[in-house]
């Protein structure tokens, strides 16, 4: 990814630090930290997810914002007694999630059917987070929820929303 980026922008324009997002420290303070495309759920424990909020806070100026894009846990698809549910089924692509509801974990299995008789499988592991738990994690790190929308266009977040964009804010200095 960094190689791809370097073909477009040099180190002076967009510096990159490679490390664990829960703990890595970048020099400087910023007005915005963002973590999009469900990335927070790649941290597989609650402790690491809380640590990630604290790390975001540590990089922000007073009044700074932390923007998160995250899916809403899809448990309503899971019939009682079953551990797998299909999330999407399109021509050439099937995705299903296998759930461990006790540990709040889901493995997402992406099957792509590129050639007749062949399939590619990509798997990713996640700890899913309810919006209410996310707000509590934010509170532990000193944030307040500023806004929550269903998408980047500012659509209303409802009980049917499959994802959300939540903006948390540190208190400004009084």
Ligand X SMILES: C[S@@+](CC[C@H](N)C(=O)[O-])C[C@H]1O[C@@H](n2cnc3c(N)ncnc32)[C@H](O)[C@@H]1O
In this chain, which stretch among 7-15, 38-46, 54-62, 156-164 interacts with ligand X, using CB under 6 A?
Answer: 38-46
Footprint on residues 129-148 left by ligand X (CB under 6 A): none
* 67 binds ligand X per the rule CB under 6 A: no
- Can you tell me the distance from the alpha carbon of 167 to that of 122, in angstroms, rounded to the nearest whole number? 30
Tell me which residues in 5-34 interact with ligand X (CB under 6 A): 20-22
Given 38, 46, 98, 147, the residue binding ligand X (CB under 6 A) = 38
CB of 27 to ligand X, least distance (A): 18
User: Of 9, 16, 32, 36, which one interacts with ligand X (CB under 6 A)?
Assistant: 36
* Residue 39 binds to ligand X (criterion: CB under 6 A): yes
Nearer to ligand X, 36 or 140 (CB): 36
> Is residue 43 a contact residue for ligand X (CB under 6 A)?
yes
42 binds ligand X (CB under 6 A): yes
Q: What is the 3-state secondary structure (H, E, C) of the chain?
A: CHHHHHCCCCCCCCCCCCCCCCCCCCCCCEEEEEECCCHHHHCCCHHHHHHHHHHHHHCEEEEEEEEEEEECCCHHHCCCCCCEEEEEEECCEEEEEEEECCCCEEEEEEEECCCCCCCEEEEEEEECCCHHHHHHHHHHCCCEEEEEECCCCCCECCCCCCEEEEEEECCCCC
# binding residues, ligand X (CB under 6 A):
9
Q: Which of 14, 31, 37, 139 binds ligand X (CB under 6 A)?
A: 37
Assess 105 for contact with ligand X (CB under 6 A): no
Q: Are 87 and 26 in contact (CB under 8 A)?
A: no
Interaction site with ligand X (CB under 6 A):
20-22, 36-39, 42-43
């Amino acid at each position: 990814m960094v190689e791809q980026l370097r073909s477009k922008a040099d180190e002076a324009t967009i510096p990159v630090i490679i490390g664990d997002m829960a703990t890595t420290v970048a020099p400087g303070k910023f007005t915005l930290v963002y973590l999009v495309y469900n990335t927070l759920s790649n941290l597989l424990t609650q402790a690491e997810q809380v640590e990630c909020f604290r790390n975001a806070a540590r990089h922000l100026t007073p009044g700074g914002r932390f923007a998160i894009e995250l899916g809403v846990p899809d448990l309503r698809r899971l019939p009682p007694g079953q551990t797998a549910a299909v999330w999407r089924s399109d021509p050439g692509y099937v995705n299903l999630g296998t759930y461990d509801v006790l540990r709040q974990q889901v493995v997402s299995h992406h099957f792509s059917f590129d050639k007749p008789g062949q399939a590619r499988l990509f798997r990713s592991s996640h700890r899913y987070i309810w919006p209410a738990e996310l707000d509590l994690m934010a509170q532990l790190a000193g944030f307040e929820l500023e806004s929550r929308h269903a998408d980047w266009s500012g659509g209303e977040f409802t009980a049917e929303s499959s994802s959300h964009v939540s903006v948390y804010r540190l208190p400004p200095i009084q």
